[in-house]
Amino acid sequence: MAIDLTDTLVIGVSATALFDLSEADTVFQEKIKTDPDTAIDRYRSYMLEKENEKLDDGTGMPLVKSLLNLNQHTKENEAPIVEVVVISKNSPETGFRVLKEIRRRNLPITRSAFTAGESSSIYLDAFYVDLFLTTNEKDAQEVIDSKVCASALVKKPPSKLQKLDENQVRFAFDADAVLFSEESEIVNQKEGLKEFWKEEDRSQDIPLQEGPYANLLKKLSKVQERLPGRIEYSPVKLAIMTARNSPAEMRVIKTLRAWNVYIDQAFFLGGLQKSRFLKAFKPHIFFDDQDSHLDPASSEVPSAKVLYPSNSPLVEIMNKKNKK
């Protein structure tokens, strides 16, 4: 019988986003520099040598654990609320250590793919993935360009991560170029903040176009409907952390209404540092498109970068800005 995951939130996660494999990656990268022909063999030997050693959490682990806990609310004869799939560029042999760690922790992850260096992103549609978390920039870019699903490049695990509630899942999203299209951000970058404010105020009754995370937000809204404690006490909490402020805030709220999406909290910060508010909100993951927000936030909370499409005008704009 075919499995229907229409109402299931499917998270794809690379092995390096789920677990801390930075030491193994260092071994591989150093060998690439000195003797690239034997780099893969050295990496394979290293993974086999360390096969019985425990792995530490990767940046995506807090999110994955809390999401999987939502399945306790799945009703009999229903599809699971959440499905997590490990999609890795390891070979099945070198990925054995990852599978062993999943079993050691009793994580209810049953599906996986090990592609031995081939792009892992091409299998996301086959797995019905709604969000793909990876540490590989090329893979993240391929997913963003293909528009198969939401994708992000995870930052290093926070150096001082606070204890997070595993019985609740808290998402924090930037607005423009993440939930919404990049159209308004292009105005901001090209014409300045005053023109951005004017345009957003003039267009407040016109819903913003969908961004790379719009479908994920809508899927999360559907997940909330399957959970107890609607609305204020839902196990899934959604927040927007945006640099927008008045008079650019109305269009955001009206767009969410047009999408029929409920957001628990919205912060219109007008230039205040997002990390201060993220520290208080304690999300299991924060998505943003700009390093100026992500770098301070990633030391406090699990964070991930949403890349621009390769053909986006923002790529050139931000490259020029970063060179100054």
Question: Do 187 and 141 have their domain in common?
Answer: no
Q: How many domains does the chain have?
A: 2
Q: 293 and 221, same structural domain?
A: yes
Report yes or no on whether pTM surpasses 0.85: yes
Domain membership flag for residue 32: yes
Residues 13 and 128 in one domain: yes
Residue 2 lies in a domain: no
Indicate if 87 and 61 belong to the same structural domain. yes
- Nearest Cα neighbor of 177 from 54, 288, 70 is 288
Does 175 lie in the same domain as 302? yes
Q: How confident is the model at residue 238 (pLDDT cuts 50, 70, 90)?
A: very high
Q: Are residues 275 and 148 in the same domain?
A: no
Q: Dump pLDDT digits (tens) for 247-290.
A: 999 999 999 999 999 999 999 999 899 999 999 999 999 999 99
Handedness of CA 310, 314, 318, 321 (dihedral sign): positive
CB 207 within 8 A of CB 258: yes
Tokens at 28, concatenated:
């591989």
Cα separation values, 271 from 131, 160, 227, Å = 28, 24, 35
Q: Which two tokens stand for residue 27?
A: 């071994």
Domain boundary among 127, 154, 181: 154
Residue 162 located in a structural domain = no
Residue 70 counted as domain residue:
yes
- The residue among 123, 154, 185 that closes a domain is 154
Residue 127 lies in a domain: yes
Tell me phi and psi for residue 305, to 5 degrees.
-95, 130
Residue 141, domain CATH: 3.40.50.1000
Which residues lie below 8 Å from residue 275, measured CB to CB, with a gap of 6+? 293, 296, 297, 299, 300, 301
Same domain, 248 and 187: yes
Instruction: Classify residue 69: in a domain, yes or no.
Output: yes
Quote the DSSP letter at residue 307.
Answer: P
Q: Does 56 map to a domain?
A: yes
**Same domain for 193 and 148:** no
Asked if residue 161 is part of any domain, the answer here is: no
> Which residues lie below 8 Å from residue 322, measured CB to CB, with a gap of 6+?
none
- pLDDT of res. 229: 72
pLDDT tens-digit map of 115-126: 988 888 889 999
Domain C-terminal end among 122, 154, 186? 154
Contact (Cβ atoms closer than 8 angstroms) between residue 180 and residue 209: yes
Single-letter amino acid code for the residue at 47: M
Q: What token pair was written down for 11?
A: 């998270």
What DSSP element (H or E) covers 172? strand 169-173
Q: Which amino acid is at 134?
A: T
What single string gives the DSSP state of each residue in 261-277? ---SEEEE-TTS-HHHH
- Give yes or no: residues 41 and 135 share one domain: yes
The amino acid occupying position 193 is L
pLDDT digits over 151-162, tens only? 999 999 887 777
Tell me the helices (H) and strands (E) count for the chain, helix number first: 13, 10
Do 197 and 126 belong to one domain?
no
- For residues 135 and 13, is the Cβ–Cβ distance under 8 A? no
Same domain? 49 vs 135:
yes
What's the pLDDT band for 324 if we cut at 50, 70, 90? low
Q: Are residues 98 and 180 in the same domain?
A: no
* Domain housing 40: 9-154
- Name the token pair of 211: 């961004």
Look at 33-47, 68-82, 120-134, 147-161 and tell me which has the smallest mean pLDDT.
Answer: 33-47
